[in-house]
Structure 1
Amino acid sequence: MNTTTADLLADAVIAPAAGYAATKVMEPVSMKLYQLESDETRRREDAARPGSPSQIAADKTLGLLGIHLKGKARGQAGAALHYGLAISWAPVYALLRRTTGLTPVAAGLASGAAMSLIVDEGITPLAGFSAPNRTYPAVTHLRGFAAHLAFGLAVAAVTETAWTILGRRPPH
């Protein structure tokens, strides 16, 4: 597959929109799945959760720089980290599509699954942005995985639509 510089530049422009839109899809999916959990499971999960992982990550990261935000600015930093991660992950989809024979659905599912496993199940607890994985009920991990699959599929939909409009869609 021959990827041009113009393709890569288009991908760099599309990825932020795809990542942002995909997060807007993922959040209600995750919330609906959370609401479907039993009261006992939600109680156990809420008791295990030390706070929003994005907020904890923002606090810790900024703290390393000697910055300690309060109030609205603190919340904005957490949201920026959350959306920044989504935007920075969206190019994984384009990379998979442009360098493998994966279909849009397969590449979307693979990129969402990879984000779930690498970020949520790996980096987040190891960095102390959440409680250790074993602290949460199994359904919490399954919900996160399913929500990230929705993220990947939404990135695929936005990216494929933009590629089609721009005439830069790879084959498959």
Structure 2
Amino acid sequence: MHRNRDDILGDVVLGVIAGAVGVWVMDRVDWFNYRHEDPEVRRQTQQVRPGGEDPAHVIAQKAQRMTGAELSPSQHHAAGTAIHYVIGIGPAAIYGAMKGRVPGVGADRGLLYGLGLFLIQDELANAAAGFSADPRRYPWQAHARGLVAHLVYGVVTDTVWNTLKGATSPNSGARAQGVWR
């Protein structure tokens, strides 16, 4: 029993690391696509966003108002970025705990995980909580960009988790040499 708890904790930690890498890569893909979008689509997206900001920065702004904190623009940006990473790392920790324990988790190389986060978090929860506008107000290109970014996040998170898991398993040296036991 104790060994299993240690395995789960280790897999959660691997999920945290994998999720952080996944968020970082997702951001690069999303920003690349955003910068190459039609300027009119970018304008429409900015126009419907609450305060012109993405959900993580909206959360940071609401937290700032609730606490009465005065943050400079750079502190506000840092808080929003930290929230963005927490939003990506939290589900990855759960994903790490479920891999190998819940049938089917990871069988698709993280694609369903990324799709699920896109649908639940981006398309439903953010709007329901007021962190984004109603999804119907965004241009379709913003949804497509978000979907691609989240699929990349899911695949990267899964790949990094698998890589780290292989590197930390007892037979990782044998695997590195191509010998499977």
- Paired residue for 1:48? 48
User: What amino acid maps onto 2:151 in structure 1?
Assistant: L
Q: What is the CA-CA distance between 1:137 and the residue it aligns to?
A: 0.6
Long gaps (5+) in structure 1: none
Q: What is the CA-CA distance between 1:27 and the residue it aligns to?
A: 0.8
User: What amino acid maps onto 2:57 in structure 1?
Assistant: Q
User: What amino acid maps onto 2:10 in structure 1?
Assistant: A
Long gaps (5+) in structure 2: 172-181
**1:6 and 2:6 correspond:** yes
Contact 1:93 1:155 in 2 (8 A): no
- Paired residue for 1:39? 39
For this pair of structures, how many residues does the alignment match? Answer: 167
Q: Deviations over 1:100-120 (max 9, x none)?
A: 332745151121111111111
- Paired residue for 1:159? 161
Per mean C-alpha deviation after superposition, the further-off stretch among 80-89 and 28-37 is 28-37
Q: Would the alpha carbon gap of residues 96 and 168 (structure 1) be closer, same or farther in structure 2, given more than 3 Å must change?
A: farther
2:87 counterpart SS class: helix
**1:126 and 2:128 correspond:** yes
Identical-residue share of aligned pairs (%): 31
Q: Deviations over 1:77-118 (max 9, x none)?
A: 111111111111112322442233327451511211111111
Which structure 2 residues correspond to residues 13-162 of structure 1 after superposition, within 5 A? Answer: 13-49=13-49, 50-102=52-104, 104=106, 106=108, 108-162=110-164
Per mean C-alpha deviation after superposition, the further-off stretch among 29-38 and 112-121 is 29-38
Contact 2:15 2:97 in 1 (8 A): no
Q: What is the CA-CA distance between 1:38 and the residue it aligns to?
A: 2.6
Q: Considering only aligned residues, what root-mean-square deviation do their CA atoms show, in Å?
A: 2.3
Partners of 1:111 and 1:53 lie apart in 2 by 20
Q: Deviations over 1:4-28 (max 9, x none)?
A: 1121111222122111111111011
Q: Would the alpha carbon gap of residues 59 and 168 (structure 1) be closer, same or farther in structure 2, given more than 3 Å must change?
A: farther
Normalising to structure 1: TM-score of the pair? 0.85
Partners of 2:165 and 2:20 lie apart in 1 by 17
Partners of 2:149 and 2:88 lie apart in 1 by 13
Normalising to structure 2: TM-score of the pair? 0.81
